[in-house]
Amino acid sequence: MNFLIYISNLIIPFVVFYIVAIGIANKQNVYDDFVTGAKEGMKTVITVMPTLIGLMIGVGVLGSSGFLEFLTSKISKVTESIGIPAAVMPPVIIRMFSSSAATGLVLDIFKQYGTDSYEGILSAIMMSSTETIFYTMSVYYMTVKVTKVRWTFVGALISTFAGVAASIILAGMMV
């Protein structure tokens, strides 16, 4: 076990050293390349920041207004019949917008039901098999200035539903 800890402590410095060594071997000015990349990264952050702020505000309003609980109460009869308890629906909905907010909701499920409960296992598997659709699309498309998203949203929703369905099956097998 100590060997794995030793290796994990060395892996990041090794990767950094490897990248610098390859740059030097290729006669690149590694520091100037780093500074140029950092400048481009800051431009990307400034470009994406309004979208991120809008998404964070939207998720906050969705949770604080009570709409999330209202929506969950309305669809819980249908979702419970297919194996999704009402307590797990808020993270499923919020996950499409924000991973960190959904993680907070999953932690609440862990506290209330336990990590080994059906709700805990289902929410953990769902978190790992779904994506932050709106966040990912807005950040990536805004960064590269894509205006026609065509079938991306539909494909992302289909993959999210597939992830939820797989989560239900896997959690059912584990409990």
Residue-level pLDDT at 56: 80
Residue 40 has pLDDT above 80, yes or no: yes
Q: What is the mean pLDDT of the chain?
A: 89
Question: How many domains does one find in the chain?
Answer: 1
Question: Is 68 in contact with 98 (CB distance < 8 Å)?
Answer: no
Average pLDDT over residues 47-75: 85
The terminus-to-terminus CA distance of the chain in angstroms comes to 30
The 10s digit of each residue's pLDDT in 84-97 is 999 999 999 999 98
Structural domain boundaries, residue 86: 2-174
Q: Which residue has the tokens 């999953």?
A: 106
pLDDT in tens, 116-147: 999 999 999 999 999 999 888 887 787 777 87
Question: Is residue 164 a contact partner of residue 92, using CB atoms and an 8 Å limit?
Answer: yes
85 Cβ contact list (under 8 Å, min separation 6): 76, 79, 118, 119, 122
Confidence at residue 170, expressed as pLDDT on a 0 to 100 scale: 94
Weakest-pLDDT range from 11-15, 49-53, 77-81, 99-103: 49-53
Confidence of residue 22 (pLDDT cuts 50, 70, 90): very high
